[in-house]
Structures are given as C-alpha cells and as structure tokens.
C-alpha cells in the first residue's frame, strides 16, 4: 500500500477546485490518501467524497510564512505516522515553497509543473512542462517523491468515500521570517481562475485607462478581467490579474485576448481555453496561432465597438 499526502491551500468557501483535482490525481496513484491544509479546515465531507481518509490542519500563525509552519507540521506528522510515499502539491507560491523545503529535509526529488502522473512498479511516471510550457517531459522517478501539479490538469471526480477524519497539528514554534502586513487585492465579479469567460488586456491597449474596456466586456460576458505581464509590470492592473507562466492558469470556455502578443509565457497560462478570440494589429502576432477567431485590427477601435453592440442588444 502506498500513502499519499495532498497539500492544499485553505479556502474561504470551505472547498476548492484545486483540492478536488489533487485528491483525484492522488487516488489514481495511491490507496491511502490524506489531505493536509492550514489555518482552517476544508469541508471534511467533500474531502472524504474525493477519497481522503483524513484531513490534517496545521496551526498557522498569521505572522509566519505558510511554508515555515506547514513544513514544521508535516515533519511532526511524519514523525508520528511515518513518511508518505508521495506528496502532491498545488502550483501556488506556498505550495512550491513547502515542496522545496521538504525536498531538502527528506532528501527527495521534486518534480514541478506536473500535468499527469501514474504509478509504476518501482515508483512513478510523471509528465511535466519544461521550457516555459513549450515541451512536455515524461520522467520516471523511483522511490519516494514530491510532485507539484499544475491547476486544471485533472478533472475532479468524487469516489463517494465517507467524511475525512479531522486532526490538528502544531506549526512552527518560532520562525525567523515575519509577515508584517498584507494587502488583499479584491476584484468584483467571478474569480479569474474559475470564470467561464476571461477577457485579458495587454500592452496593445496603449494606455492604462483603456483597460476599462476589458473590465466592461468582461462584465457584459459575465467573466473576469485578466492581463499580460507587460501591463502588470507597468502598474496598470494588480498582479493578481496576471495570466501566464508566473501568473494564473485559466481554462475558461472563452478567452478574449486584447492587444496581447502571445509570448510563450502568456500562452502557457491560457491555451487550455475552449475557445480563443484575439484582437491584434500585427497579422504575425503569435497569439493568432492559438486563436479560433483572430481579428487583425486596432483594439482601441474594435473593442469599444464590440461593447457598443452588446450594450445595444441589452437595451433592446
């Protein structure tokens, strides 16, 4: 029997799509799955329905970095229960930090950007993205290992287990790094990662004020507004809107790219979308290679026209 731990961020709603994805994947490679989270527990009923037999909540002090507490908690847990054969993490910042630190403590290899995983007689075979998501590497790992899994690589499926047993463990008693303050970037409308429609803007919008068209179209389509890194770096919109390699991975039903060139680092975060519309004045922009409908044109004229047409329709 192999034991898997799944490390998942807590969620204000008591559950997250990411938790379902990771537990579904863990179940495929292990017959004894435990969920580890911090601060507040996830819904034990759903955790169980997705196959977790227990849920461990690590006490997390707001002044500490998450990784410092969670690594300490997982060390205690391993001392009590034995080390797991495999640990799966989400691709969040904290997930990557926890995986990195544990890999050194436990002397285990860590594979990141994982999109698929299966068990082999002597270990695991994973598929993970390399070179900015342009290639997929199939890698065999023998012995215990850590895998950091990309969002939306697995379709969550329940298996109908009974509610996960709850446990609590302590975090770090003291840490050197201190969190002094937090800024929350709130945006109204649906969450970027789960929105059915994402409208994103890039440098081609020309000016920060023009991003309001992106917000407006997103609003009209019941979607969320995203961005390329260029305009996040330029300070037009907060980082929480960035789509791509170093931002969020989205896979909506419809993605509308407005004035975005389509650099590989952007594409890796959105090319899983079901339908893609791109507006760009450069006929050779790489974004057109992934677009189902490509419009060669000036986004500062096309976008307001689209908004006007949709508004007209609303009015009618």
Partner 1 sequence: MKVLACVKPVPDPSAPVRYQENGRLDRTGKVVLDEADSYGVEVALRLAEASGGSVVLGTMSDSSDPAPLRAALAMGAEEALVASDSRLGGADALTTARVLGALVRRSGAEVVVTATESADGYTGTVAAQLAEVLGWPALTFASHVSLEGDHVVVRRQSETGTLEVAAPVPCVISVTAGSVEPRYATFKGIVAAKSRPVTTLTLDELGVVLDEERVHDIVDVRDAPGRAAGEKIVDEGQAAAAIVAYFDALKIL
Task: Please report where in the chains the tokens 């309001």 appear, as a residue.
Answer: 212
Q: Is residue 22 part of the contact set for ligand FAD (CB under 6 A)?
A: no
What residues from 239 to 258 belong to the interface with partner 1 (CB under 8 A)? 239-240, 245-246, 253-254
Query: Would you give the distance in Å from CA 140 to the centre of its chain?
Result: 24
What residues from 87 to 106 belong to the interface with partner 1 (CB under 8 A)? 92-94, 96-97, 99-101, 103-105
Q: Is residue 52 part of the contact set for partner 1 (CB under 8 A)?
A: no
Pairwise CA distance, residues 203 & 303, whole Å: 14
Choose among partner 1, ligand FAD, none what residue 202 binds, the Cβ cut-off being 5 to 8 Å by kind: ligand FAD
Q: Is residue 149 part of the contact set for ligand FAD (CB under 6 A)?
A: no
Pairwise CA distance, residues 127 & 129, whole Å: 7
Choose among partner 1, ligand FAD, none what residue 283 binds, the Cβ cut-off being 5 to 8 Å by kind: partner 1
Shortest spacing between CB 164 and partner 1, in angstroms: 23
Among 41, 126, 245, 273, binds ligand FAD (CB under 6 A): 245
CB 279, CB 257: distance < 8 Å: yes
Among 112, 242, 249, 273, binds ligand FAD (CB under 6 A): 242
Q: Is residue 112 part of the contact set for partner 1 (CB under 8 A)?
A: yes
Shortest spacing between CB 265 and partner 1, in angstroms: 9
If the CB atoms of residues 164 and 232 are measured against partner 1, the closer one turns out to be 232
Choose among ligand FAD, partner 1, none what residue 280 binds, the Cβ cut-off being 5 to 8 Å by kind: ligand FAD
SS3 letters for 193-256? CCCCEEEEECHHHCCHHHHHHHHHHHHHCCCEEEECHHHHHCCCCCHHHEECCCCECCCCCEEE
- Taking contact as CB under 6 A, which single stretch among the options 51-59, 90-98, 210-218, 278-286 is the one that binds ligand FAD? 278-286
Question: Under the phi-then-psi rule, with left for phi > 0, alpha for psi from -120 to 50, and beta for the rest, what region is 132?
Answer: left
Among 51, 133, 204, 294, binds ligand FAD (CB under 6 A): 204
Q: What's the N-to-C CA distance of the chain in angstroms?
A: 63
What residues from 135 to 194 belong to the interface with partner 1 (CB under 8 A)? 135-143, 148, 175-185
R_g of the chain, CA atoms, integer Å: 21
CB 205, CB 211: distance < 8 Å: yes
Burial 39-61 (b: 16+ CB within 10 A, else e): bebbbbebbbbbbbbbbbbbebb
Q: Is residue 6 part of the contact set for ligand FAD (CB under 6 A)?
A: no
Choose among ligand FAD, partner 1, none what residue 157 binds, the Cβ cut-off being 5 to 8 Å by kind: none
Shortest spacing between CB 53 and partner 1, in angstroms: 27
Q: Is residue 15 part of the contact set for partner 1 (CB under 8 A)?
A: no
**Which two structure tokens, joined as six digits, stand for 84?**
């797991």
Choose among ligand FAD, partner 1, none what residue 3 binds, the Cβ cut-off being 5 to 8 Å by kind: none
If the CB atoms of residues 59 and 307 are measured against ligand FAD, the closer one turns out to be 307
Q: Is 264 exposed, middle or buried (0-12, 13-18, 19+ CB in 10 A)?
A: middle
If the CB atoms of residues 170 and 274 are measured against partner 1, the closer one turns out to be 274
Pairwise CA distance, residues 102 & 112, whole Å: 14
Site residues (vs ligand FAD, CB under 6 A): 202-204, 206, 228-231, 242-247, 259-261, 263, 265-266, 269, 279-282, 285, 298-300
């Amino acid at each position: 029997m192999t034991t898997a731990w799944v490390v998942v961020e807590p969620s204000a709603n008591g559950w997250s799509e990411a938790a379902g994805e990771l537990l579904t994947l863990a179940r495929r490679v292990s017959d004894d799955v435990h969920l580890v989270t911090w601060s507040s527990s996830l819904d034990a009923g759903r955790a169980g329905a997705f196959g977790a037999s227990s849920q461990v909540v690590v006490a997390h002090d707001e002044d500490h970095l998450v990784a410092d507490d969670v690594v300490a908690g997982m060390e205690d847990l391993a001392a009590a229960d034995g080390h797991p054969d495999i640990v799966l993490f989400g691709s969040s910042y904290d997930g990557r930090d926890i995986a990195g630190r544990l890999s050194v403590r436990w002397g285990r290899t860590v594979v990141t950007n994982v999109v698929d995983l299966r068990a082999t007689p002597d270990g695991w075979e994973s598929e993970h993205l390399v070179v900015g998501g342009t290639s997929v590497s199939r890698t065999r790992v023998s012995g215990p290992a850590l895998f950091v899994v990309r969002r939306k690589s697995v379709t969550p499926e329940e298996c109908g287990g009974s509610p996960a047993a709850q446990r609590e463990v302590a975090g770090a008693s003291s840490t050197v790094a201190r969190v002094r303050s937090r800024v929350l970037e709130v945006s109204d409308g649906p969450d970027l990662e789960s929105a059915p429609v994402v409208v994103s803007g890039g440098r081609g919008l020309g000016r920060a004020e023009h991003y309001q068209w992106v917000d407006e179209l997103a609003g009209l389509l019941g979607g969320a507004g995203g961005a390329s890194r260029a305009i996040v770096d330029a300070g037009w919109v907060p980082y929480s809107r960035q789509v791509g390699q170093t931002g969020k991975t989205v896979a909506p039903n419809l993605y509308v790219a407005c004035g975005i060139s389509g650099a590989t680092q952007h594409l890796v975060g959105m090319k899983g979308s079901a339908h893609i519309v791109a507006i760009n004045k450069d006929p050779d922009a790489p974004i057109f290679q992934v677009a189902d409908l490509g419009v060669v044109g000036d986004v500062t004229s096309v976008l307001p026209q689209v908004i006007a047409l949709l508004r007209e329709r609303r009015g009618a």
